[in-house]
Amino acid sequence: MHKLILQMQMSADGRVATQRPINWTLWGWGDHWPWDAALRADFNATFARASAILLSRAMAAEGYLDHWRGMAERHRGNADYAFASRIGTLPKRVYGRTPVNGEWPNTRSAHGPLHEVIARLKQDGDGDLLCFGGASFASALAATGLIDEFQFYLNPSAIGPGSSPFDAMPHGKALTLLSSCAYACGIVVNRYAPA
């Protein structure tokens, strides 16, 4: 059975998106990568353990897969970017309420009611199923109660009003801290399991 891991960049005040035009992430996913060596190594290790990736339709449509394919090509042979190559080779599912059409290699549509799709995907293999998506998708996913681990990469910024991955949970969610690691670049990675 897959372990479903939601991984998100987050501001220090717990937000994952804002309508305000501010640059709140330390790394904007470009060629200049200001994360320190230890964080890069740990980030790559997460992808090395993964057996599949789940993306929201919006994340795929906005170019996630094409972006990392390009990064893998530009940084071929650079161990810091091994994760980008891994994104290309891992089996991927793109979630949508209706079938998702796309021209992405090694990628299939996963459509239907979110709770049913996630339950089915978790049964469909072993290892870590890394999940990426925007605030709305993350919030809906958290509300299903099927996430096994939350990985939050806290950036050294506060954005004030914005979206949280727990917006769809009016009664909140108790979590158990699995680990917390502060890195020299200023990012803190907190890993939680549902309590």
pLDDT for 44 equals 95
Report if pTM > 0.85: yes
Rounded to the nearest angstrom, the gap between the alpha carbon of residue 120 and the centroid of all alpha carbons in its chain is 19
**pLDDT 10s digit of each residue in the chain, 195 long?**
999 999 999 999 999 877 777 888 888 888 888 999 999 999 999 999 999 999 998 888 888 888 999 999 999 999 999 999 999 999 999 998 777 666 778 888 888 899 999 999 999 889 999 999 988 999 999 999 999 999 999 999 998 888 888 888 878 889 999 999 999 999 999 999 999
Cα 69 from Cα 76, distance rounded (Å)? 10
- For tokens 């640059």, name the residue: 23
Q: Which residues contact 160 (CB under 8 A, 6 or more apart)?
A: 13, 15, 18, 20
pLDDT for 125 equals 86
DSSP codes joined into one string, 65-85: HHHHHHHHHHTTT-GGGHHHH
Cα 64 from Cα 56, distance rounded (Å)? 10
pLDDT for 51 equals 96
Domains and their CATH numbers in the chain: 2-194 (3.40.430.10)
